[in-house]
Amino acid sequence: MKRRNFIKLSLIATTSLLVPNTLKAETDFSGVVFDKDIYSANAAQVIMIYLYGGASQLAGNLTNIDEIKEKSQSSYDIYFRGITPTQNGFWQEAGGTHLEEMIANNDLTLFRTCYSQLREESNNKAHGLCTAQNQRGSFSESAAGVVTNLTQILSNQNLVNENSVMPFITMEGNSAFYAEGNTTVPSYLKAVGLNENLDNPYQRYVRYWFEYTADERKITNYNRNDESGFDPVFNKTMNSMAQQHNTHTKIKNAFQKREPLSNFITEIATQTIPDLGADAYPTNSTFASTLASSIKVMANNPDTKVLTMNTGGLGGWDDHNEARNYVTRCEDLYKTLKSSMAHLKALGKEENISIMVFAEFGRNVNLNSAQGWDHGNLQNFLVLGGKKYFNHQGVVGRTKVDSSGAINRLYLKPDDGSYSFEPLSIAATLYKVFGITNPEILTDGNSAVSI
């Protein structure tokens, strides 16, 4: 590891340990420059899709495939039975046709050179650590998550407050995107958890209700198998008890908001997806259902700023062995992304809603003896939609093959002179579309991507 990078990483770690109220952790974010005009003009809403396990970059980049085949430990042609580069060097059998269509429609920018020089020199290709850093936008593991920082910045500007409806949503449960670091996050800024069916987190159901008489307790069974929402008797009783027994105004207000929020979610969940024709979502796909539901929420609720999700239903991306399913997984991934763009356009929302797709890292390109790929350090970063604030450029970045190590160490790296950026720049990009003009102050000096 080069001395300057060792010092840089050491300073980041030491600062986070010795000075807990650094810019990444302080609650007022006094060093952040925020432009309300940018925020208002963009009306940004972002869906973040994280490919846990580290997806290979090859579906989006076969430009070096001849050299890779020549130097790979195992035969690509024998194992995969079909590796056809498209016009832009995508893997046709692995969803490349869908990528080409999105490029042609000016819906997508695909960056081929998201690469961490710091990780390369420190030999860091560990899942947990890289995910923690990417989702925090910092090399410090004690930093708050990207979404947590954004919630507080927007709250400080009074752009998100207690009256905001589900400003931040997770379709994946908890993750480092929402890590609190050294901060204390008010409950109204914490993410609401939903699933692909938009099961209602605000809805009250009751199976049994206990009625007391003078001499006995009678159990009445309210069969709550319908979809009408609240049990009216139970709801009225609970709200009355909340007003009587809670002295804190915020708690009383929360009970009052519960029913309209429940009705709001139910209304969104029952809306149908427009007829997308040939671009219809794949059927029987949890991932497709989750993304379609995410767009439903975003399109109907401008209060929602960021929604995070994974690719549940497609399978993981840690393809150390038997990587053949990677091809069909990518086909489903990119077909669903193409459907999502058709969905956004049908709703007239492709200008302000964007989708960002990335992972902890990519894979090396040696097909190993187990017919898979080990961890690499270069990945694709996909940006879709958001045309108010993104100038889509098609394919960005050129790569070269590094075969200087052992046979099982065959990597793609940014070509000499090619544009490239650290993964933390993805966090900086998210900050920037929401009006933060100096996002690098939160991302260890890494600026937003050039788009």
Hey, where are the domains in the chain?
A: 3-193+276-441, 209-270
Among 151, 48, 123, 13, which Cα is nearest to 427's? 48
Q: Whole-angstrom Cα distance, residue 270 to residue 9?
A: 49
Q: What pLDDT score was predicted for residue 397?
A: 98
Q: Whole-angstrom Cα distance, residue 57 to residue 395?
A: 13
Cβ-defined contacts of 271-278 (< 8 Å, 24+): 271/296, 271/300, 273/343, 274/343, 274/346, 274/347, 276/339, 276/342, 276/343, 276/346, 277/342
**Cα of 113 vs its chain's centroid, Å:** 19
Q: What pLDDT score was predicted for residue 213?
A: 53
Q: What pLDDT score was predicted for residue 222?
A: 45
| CATH match of 3-193+276-441 with 3.40.720 | yes
∠ CA 148-263-194, nearest 5°, is 35
Q: What pLDDT score was predicted for residue 409?
A: 86
Token pair of 422, please?
């650290």
**Cα of 378 vs its chain's centroid, Å:** 18
Half-sphere exposure of residue 64: CA atoms within 13 angstroms, side-chain side: 24
| pTM metric for this prediction | 0.86
Half-sphere exposure of residue 381: CA atoms within 13 angstroms, side-chain side: 30
Q: What pLDDT score was predicted for residue 360?
A: 97
Q: Tell me the mean pLDDT per 10 residues along the chain, length 451.
A: 39 33 49 96 97 98 97 96 96 98 98 96 93 96 94 95 92 94 86 89 56 51 47 65 60 59 84 96 97 96 97 96 97 98 98 98 97 97 96 96 85 97 98 97 96 80
Q: Is the dihedral of CA 254, 260, 264, 266 positive or negative?
A: positive
Instruction: Please give the C-alpha separations between residue 45 and each of 97, 266, 389, in angstroms, as whole numbers.
Output: 27, 21, 11
Q: What pLDDT score was predicted for residue 262?
A: 80
DSSP collapsed to 3 states, the chain:
CCHHHHHHHHHHHHHHHHCCCCCCCCCCCCCCCECHHHHHHHCCEEEEEECCCCCCCHHHCCCCHHHHHHHCCCCHHHHHCCCCECCCCCEHHHCHHHHHHHHHCCCEEEEEEEECHHHHHHCCCCHHHHHHHHHHCCCCCCCCCHHHHHHHHHHHCCCCCCCCCCCEEECCCCCHHHCCCCCCCCHHHCCEECCCCCCCCCCCCCCEEEEECCCCEEEEECCCCCCCCCCHHHHHHHHHHHHHHCCCHHHHHHHHHHHHHHHHHHHHHCCCCCCCHHHCCCCCCHHHHHHHHHHHHHHHCCCCCEEEECCCCCCCCCCCCCCCHHHHHHHHHHHHHHHHHHHHHHCCCCCCEEEEEECCCCECCCCCCCCCCCECCEEEEEEEECCCCCCCCEEECCEEEECCCCCCCCEEEECCCCCCECCHHHHHHHHHHCCECCHHHCCCCCCCCCC
Q: What pLDDT score was predicted for residue 223?
A: 47
